[in-house]
């Protein structure tokens, strides 16, 4: 195991519990977390994106994504579990794509991100469905009821598929701008991972999508 992998593991062990604590506490803790997130993400975006129009539009999007995260989380336990549900799908999508892509390799998915493969995409869907299923069973909460879905397996899989797809598109979107800027990572704030946007690229797209989906369906 190389140094980068060790840094990645240690960073995850430290950050994940803090992240869950701040989300779970809600209120002022979560608000301060979102403000900090927005400032760091905006700083990385401005440094990465040299086009002024793109920079401005990106900042507006990050602001909206942060606001939607605040709305999606809400102040009750139902909002907490829905928020965690979305985050878990996005994280599983990222992990599945990485692991399956490394193991099975195969044809490249797109030129935007040379490391993305069709096997990785399949792995993203597989792991996101698996993690979401385990999450719901663990807490014995029927999240689909709270967003006006029935406990129908097909609708459940469609929901996860949509969230995972949006997360992957968000990943590709940030990768496109990294490629334009000829950089590997958006920053160095998270040892072994790179920048904040490197880790939440899918989440910042999935959260607005999910809020609007849950709100109007």
Q: What is the pLDDT of residues 195-217, one digit of tens each?
A: 999 999 999 999 999 999 888 76
Please, which residues have CB within 8 angstroms of residue 201's CB and are 6 or more apart in sequence?
Answer: 170, 171, 173, 174, 175
> How sure is the predictor about 152, in pLDDT bands with cuts at 50, 70 and 90?
low
203 phi and psi angles, rounded to 5 deg:
-65, -40
Q: Is the pTM of this model over 0.85?
A: yes
- State the total domains in the chain: 1
- Closest by alpha carbon to 116, among 134, 130, 96? 96
Please, which residues have CB within 8 angstroms of residue 52's CB and are 6 or more apart in sequence?
Answer: none
pLDDT in tens, 9-68: 787 778 888 888 888 887 788 999 999 999 999 999 999 988 899 999 999 999 999 999
> How sure is the predictor about 139, in pLDDT bands with cuts at 50, 70 and 90?
low
Helices within the chain (DSSP H only): 3-25, 27-48, 52-73, 77-104, 118-139, 143-146, 153-181, 196-200, 203-216
Where in the sequence is the domain holding 146, given as residue range(s)?
3-216
């Amino acid at each position: 195991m190389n140094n980068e992998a060790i840094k990645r593991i240690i960073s995850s062990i430290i950050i994940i519990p803090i992240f869950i604590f701040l989300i779970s506490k809600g209120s002022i803790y979560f608000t301060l977390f979102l403000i900090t997130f927005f400032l760091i993400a905006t700083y990385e975006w401005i440094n990465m994106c040299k086009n002024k129009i793109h920079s401005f539009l990106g900042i507006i999007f990050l602001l909206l994504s942060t606001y939607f995260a605040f709305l999606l989380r809400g102040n009750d336990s139902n909002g907490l579990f829905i928020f965690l549900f979305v985050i878990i799908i996005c994280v599983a999508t990222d992990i599945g794509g990485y692991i399956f892509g490394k193991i099975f390799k195969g044809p490249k998915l797109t030129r935007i991100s040379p490391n993305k493969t069709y096997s990785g995409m399949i792995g993203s869907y597989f792991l996101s469905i698996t993690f979401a299923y385990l999450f719901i069973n663990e807490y014995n909460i029927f999240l689909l009821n709270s967003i006006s879905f029935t406990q129908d397996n097909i609708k459940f899989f469609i929901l996860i598929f949509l969230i995972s797809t949006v997360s992957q598109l968000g990943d590709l979107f940030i990768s496109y701008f990294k490629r334009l800027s000829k950089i590997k990572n958006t920053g160095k704030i998270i040892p072994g991972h790179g920048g904040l946007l490197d880790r939440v690229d899918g989440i910042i797209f999935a959260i607005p999508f999910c809020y609007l989906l849950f709100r109007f369906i």
